[in-house]
Structure 1
Amino acid sequence: MFNDAFGWSDLVFMLTGTLNTLALTAWAVIIGTVVGVFLGLLRTVVPTSVNALIGAILDVPRSVPLLIQIVLVNSFKSVIGLDWSAFTVGCVVLAIYMAAYCTEVVRSGISSVPFTTRRAARSLGMTYWQDFRLVVFPMALRVSLPSWIGVVLGVLKDTSIVLWIGIIELLRSSQIIVTRTQQPILVLTVAGLIYFVICFPIARLGGRLEAKWSKQ
């Protein structure tokens, strides 16, 4: 007899989808942060024309809805000869999306350090890298880290969009169970709780760091 009740096996299936959500987030955050830090630093030292070009390129992933980016990349990958799985497509698109926002977070953090502070450091005999490591980086980190955490949370929740290309992450696994059990309120409540358990500690960490640094 067909069993339409939400059971332990369904919860396990949702947790398996959660692992895919976390894996997508981890890859996107790692790659996107590395690229974003590099581009953010680059935008602070290159000429204005080059900076404007980089900014214009990064405006594309920030301006086009993420769903459209994922569907287009997944559709055209074979046209350009890329044998990528749906998971790889999701990771790449989310990483580019993360990098676009992380670049601006890093650039704004570095730009927030007063020029007079940097000039004073150089007048004390510091090299460029000593000035950056001992003066700029600690000050920029205080400005950038809370914003970076916010971007990470956004990417984590945006992983739900990859269900459109067939990846069974948390939301997609929830939809499959809803179709079988016809219990959308219960299933989506469980999914929401899982998202909350993942996101709440990260959000609290960002809030605590921001409050701690604002008092210093």
Structure 2
Amino acid sequence: MLNKQVADLRKDYRLASLDENDVARDPLVQFEHWWKDAIKSEVDEFNAMTLATSTPDGYPSARIVLLKHFDTNGFVFFTNYESRKGQEMAANPQVSLLFFWRELERQVRIDGVVSKVSAAMSDEYYNSRPPGSRLSAIVSPQSRVVPHRSFLEEQVQLLAEKYVLIEPVRPEYWGGYVVKPVKIEFWQGRSNRLHDRLLYSQEGSGWKIERLAP
């Protein structure tokens, strides 16, 4: 039996529309337009995106990561290479990203192939992070079982004492990934659930644009 309080939750979307004649021919250009809209609209954590990966035998997993750069090469984020997502991406490089900008009633879904960025790019970003974040990247055996929180806090404190006079160096097991898109879908919420969905698919050296049913 349905939980009526949950089933009756609804919102009617009325902020904007999305038309084939108004969008850029290149999805990265269109993404940049929407990105700037998100910045101007002060969307909360507009660079937060869901990263979906899967094991070779098809078990999916998803989590929120933060976009740190994008250009014609793709979408960049940073994490622990030995984490669950790192291991899954090593085994199966096909991934999806999803942005949800609630304040603009928009979503962007990106399907693509992931690979590691250069060591130089990972070093540059790592060295730009706050000191505490750099130490946490060294200490955390991400996705693995630890005995308790104080275990991590103690390790960070020991490292902080070690690196009083010298800068920590990026560990080899931490760095960046770039997702090269093969499909990008732009979703604009519309009234009565008749949403606008435009799908860009790679076609030769260009992109094909198609409208999807909501």
TM-score (norm: length of structure 2): 0.27
* Structure in which a larger fraction of residues adopt strand: 2
* Structure in which a larger fraction of residues adopt helix: 1
CA radius of gyration, larger in: 1
Higher RCO, 1 vs 2 (CA within 8 Å, ≥6 residues apart): 1
TM-score (norm: length of structure 1): 0.27
